[in-house]
Structure 1
Amino acid sequence: MSIQRLEGAVSDLRQHRRAQPRGINWELVSQLLGTTLPSDYTELIDWYPDLIISDFIAITRPGPGREERFVDSQREELEDLRGFRDEGWTGGHEVFPTPGGLLRWGGSDEGDGFYWRTAGGTPDEWTVVVGSRNGHWADLHCGLTEYLARLLSGQAEPHGLPANIEEGGGTVDYEMDDDNR
């Protein structure tokens, strides 16, 4: 679970690396959420601006001083996901904090959800699950940055996303804001 694979897949990612981490209180996030998050995610969020994949996928992230708002948003997402599960719309996946349950890390502008399957001894063992808006669910058996690297290099398994992303034609845009300086 290393960000280096993603840096290899996105040629200009390294030049957008911040000089210092963003200053997110990960301890507070962990305390409020009830779990730590995978280290590749925290590293990506700490050191890089928002990444928008092919004007389609956005990675959910806390900002410094907005950790509680991030966790509140995660709780709302989990409640929505529980409703989807109760309707049979989660491909048989459970919802966090149930062991192995889904916890969201991103979404698309068309309603696709990107999750960790919270199974394994540590969060660094969690794998990516994609729930597409058309009801297709895919377990991708890799971590977040590995998934993004595969997606952007055309090595990800097909799972209902637009063809330009699945074929490695995806692009990365960087969204800068005040806490990205």
Structure 2
Amino acid sequence: METSAFVHTVWREIKGNPPDRDQPLIMEAPQGSDLYELVAEFGSWAGRHRNLAAGGFIDPSLTERTGLPLVEPFGAGELLEMRGWGYRNRWIGCGLVASPHGPRAIAVIAHRENPASAGFPEGASWAEKLRIITGWEPIPGPRVDWPTIEADLGTRLPSDYKEIVNLFGAGSFDEYFELAVPGGPGAGHNPWKRYGPDLASGGLLPWGWSEYELGLMWSTGATDPDEWTVVTQSEGEGEQQFDCGAGEFILRMLTDVQLGYPMSHAPGHVFVSYGPPDF
């Protein structure tokens, strides 16, 4: 079985029945499988991975929120390497374990608690609420130079949006829609620079999009960017206006079934990271 075929088999398991809460599923990769090829294959649909174990050393700071269920099944000295991803109600890992015949590659599927089951802390920002429902734990990386971006654009950008970008970086929510992130894939250093002249007349400024031809915009008529509201554009629905900012709209998009977006019916939510911005 080739690497891609093995990953496809794991993917079918992930899409099937939920994993046992107390017994993670461990799947042995084909003999001779290369860990880095496996990580690349998993990463092509699960995004940027986390290093949970390397060189036989398990990260002592791991918790239920950061991938501990993927390393718990292994005894002392057994686990050599582990890379992990949080994906909806599952943890997914691939790594190397010691065996009498040398290191062997494996994949692990473990139960992941709903990160939003405890609700939201009082006063939580929209960015923090999104972090809670996706179970996202920030990965260190370069930060967006907002003063330079805003100077080029000629206006501030909404605070809730900048907080979300600072917390999550470039990536996809529920593999459905993406944020316009400076330095992110296809965005360039400043994805809004050419829109500057439109802002003087209260025009529309894009801040996200989906693979289903849904465009997410700000209506920039308000003097204070924190009061800019959301406008969506799609071929089927045309233009729709929402009396809220980007952060609230993303949360409603993921959880409010009355809005009608498919992600609101999902059993859990995920943020797939594309990696640090490319400045």
Larger radius of gyration: 2
**Offset of 1:120 from its aligned partner?**
1.6
**1: CA distance, partners of 2:159 / 2:257:** 22
> What residue is the counterpart of 1:74 in the other structure?
192
**Normalising by structure 1, what TM-score?**
0.69
SS in 2 for 1:103: strand
Whether the 8 Å contact between 1:51 and 1:172 is mirrored in structure 2 is: no
How many positions carry a matched residue from both structures?
Answer: 152
Q: What's 1:116 paired with? A: 218
RMSD: 3.1
Q: Which has the higher strand share?
A: 2
Output the CA distance in 1 between the equivalents of 2:257 and 2:237. 22
Q: Give the corresponding residue for 1:172.
A: 270
What is the CA–CA distance in structure 2 between the aligned matches of 1:134 and 1:153, rounded to whole Å?
21
1:144 is matched with: 246
**Among the aligned pairs, what percent are the same residue?**
25
1:16-57 deviation digits (Å, cap 9, x = unpaired)? 2245x7322111111111111111111111122334133221
Instruction: Give the direction of change, closer, same or farther, for the CA distance of 1:110–1:164 in structure 2 (3 Å limit).
Output: closer
After TM superposition, the structure 1 = structure 2 runs for residues 4-153 of structure 1, keeping only pairs within 5 Å, are 4-8=128-132, 10-13=133-136, 16-18=137-139, 22-63=142-183, 69-71=188-190, 73-75=191-193, 78=195, 96-153=198-255
Query: Counterpart amino acid of 1:173?
Result: F
In the aligned structure 1, how far is the partner of 2:134 from the partner of 2:275? 22
Q: Give the distance between the partners of 1:132 and 1:28, measured in 2 at CA.
A: 31
Higher helix share: 1
Provide the TM-score with structure 2 as the length reference: 0.47
Whole-angstrom distance in 2 between the partners of 1:62 and 1:156: 31
Higher relative contact order (CA 8 A, sep 6+): 1
Once the two structures are TM-superposed, the CA of residue 11 in structure 1 deviates from its matched residue by 4.2
8 Å contact kept, 1:5–1:145:
no
